[in-house]
Every structure is written in C-alpha cells, then in structure tokens.
C-alpha cells in the first residue's frame, strides 16, 4: 500500500483517527479530514511525527461543495487518490419517531447518508484513474433497528444500500466499494454514558466487551488492501456477535 493516497473523513478522533493511523503505518499518505479543525490538525501532526505522511483538510461532509473541495485539494497536493474512507457521522437525538425533531432528522441524514454520497460522487472519478477502494462506515444499525434512533438507523441502512449499488456500478472500473458495521466501540462518543449504561452495552455483545477502534481500523485497512482484491459490495460486521443474536 506504499505510495498510495487516502482520504479519511471524521478523522479528528475515534474510529477515523484509528483508521488514519493504521493506514499511515502501512505506508499510505493520508488526508485527515474533519469539521473539527483544531483536533484534525493535531492528528495530522501526530502522524507526521511518526515518519508518516499526513495532511489536514477541513470538510463538512453535509455540504457538497466541501466534499468537492476536499478531493480537489487532495489531487492538487498529491496528484492522485486511491482510497476513501467515508467515516464522518453523528448520533443524533434520542426520541420516539413521532416526537423526533424534523430538523435533527434532516441533519443526521445530511451528514450520515448524504455525506457518503457527496463524498463518493467526487472521489470516484479520481479513484477510477488509478484503481482503488472505498470503505463507507455503516454500523450494526445498518442491518438491525434500535428504539429512539430513527434518523441514525435510516441513514446507516441507506449507507449499506448505497454501497452495494455503487460497488456494482464500479466493479469493472477498478474500484471496490464496501461498508463496515461496527458494534459499540470504546470511543469518546460513549464518554457521555454513565457506568450502568456502559455495562448494559457490554452485555449486549456476546463477546463480553466493547470493541476497540483499532479492531475496526484493521478491517478497514484490509478492505483497502490487495488482500481483499475479490471483495466488493459487501457489508462487514465487526460487532462482537451483537447481530448474531
């Protein structure tokens, strides 16, 4: 994977940061992208210090013009693009569907689903030139439901379907497209939960613990690599058995 170039959205923390780090460790030049400029720049600088190549570009994935700029600036700086990991996302509010805020529903869909489409829309023409892979971050909630999360569940189901369709369209154009469905992963997003809530999440995973960001990153990097050369249109769960129940 050396001398390849990747874009990772939502890379200022959590899964995105772990994925960017793993890619750099495999010799990939990574464009660290996030709406959070301060922490995004810190991640890029941290990866650079470890003899890797990383560069920060700010992007709000809910804005098509930002997604276009992200790709154009990547090409301007590095001349090519091989991999894209569309990871940026938010959780949204916790409400019954009949009480869910319309504005919040639109916001979650804009970032978690439309943002993946906008990203691929501008990434694909460049990746086709060299061949490569796209990995879209879905969730266990891309295949099952959960109460009080109408927008998030709808968006992640949409990501899985969008990924499959795009994979079929580009299978003979040298671009593989897959999605990943993590269970509950130990990131900053769970810091807002109290100990009892975290314990309930742990119990929901037959393996008996929450996932680690690095475990998701390992799968994502494998999907980008030539070791996964016959893998496209798939939805890979990394969930400690959550959806097997």
> Hey, which residues are catalytic here?
152
Query: How many angstroms separate the CA atoms of 143 and 156, rounded?
Result: 8
Please list, in sequence order, all residues whose beta carbon lies within 8 angstroms of the beta carbon of residue 185, skipping any fewer than 6 positions away. 14, 15, 210, 211, 212, 213, 215, 216
d(CA 79, CA 76): 6
Residue with tokens 């189901």: 157
**Residue partners of 110: CB distance under 8 A and separation at least 6:** 62
- Positive or negative, the CA dihedral 233, 109, 119, 236 is negative
> How many CB atoms neighbour CB 177 within 10 A?
29
Residue 235 in tokens: 């939805």
DSSP-assigned states of every residue in 94-118: -B-GGG--HHHHHHHHIIIIIHHHH
């Amino acid at each position: 994977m050396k001398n390849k170039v990747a874009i990772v959205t939502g890379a200022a923390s959590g899964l995105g940061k772990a994925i960017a780090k793993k890619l750099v460790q495999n010799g990939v030049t990574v464009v660290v992208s996030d709406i959070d400029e301060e922490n995004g720049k810190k991640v890029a600088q941290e990866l650079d210090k470890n003899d890797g190549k990383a560069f920060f570009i700010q992007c709000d994935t809910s804005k098509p013009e930002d997604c276009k700029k992200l790709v154009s600036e990547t090409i301007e700086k590095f001349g090519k693009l091989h991999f894209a990991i569309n990871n940026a996302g938010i959780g949204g509010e916790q409400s019954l569907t009949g009480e869910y805020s319309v504005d919040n529903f639109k916001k979650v869909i804009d970032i978690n689903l439309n943002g993946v489409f906008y990203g691929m829309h501008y990434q694909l023409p460049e990746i086709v030139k060299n061949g490569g892979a796209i990995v879209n971050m879905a969730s266990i909630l891309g295949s099952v439901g959960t109460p009080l999360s109408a927008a998030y569940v709808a968006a992640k189901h949409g990501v899985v379907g969008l990924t499959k369709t795009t994979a079929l369209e580009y299978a003979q154009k040298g671009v593989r497209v897959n999605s990943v469905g993590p269970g509950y992963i130990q990131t900053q997003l769970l810091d807002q939960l109290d100990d009892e809530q975290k314990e309930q999440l742990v119990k929901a995973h037959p393996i008996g613990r929450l996932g680690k960001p690095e475990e998701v990153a390992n799968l994502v990097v494998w999907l980008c690599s030539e070791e996964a050369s016959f893998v496209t249109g798939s939805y890979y769960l990394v969930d400690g058995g959550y959806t097997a129940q």
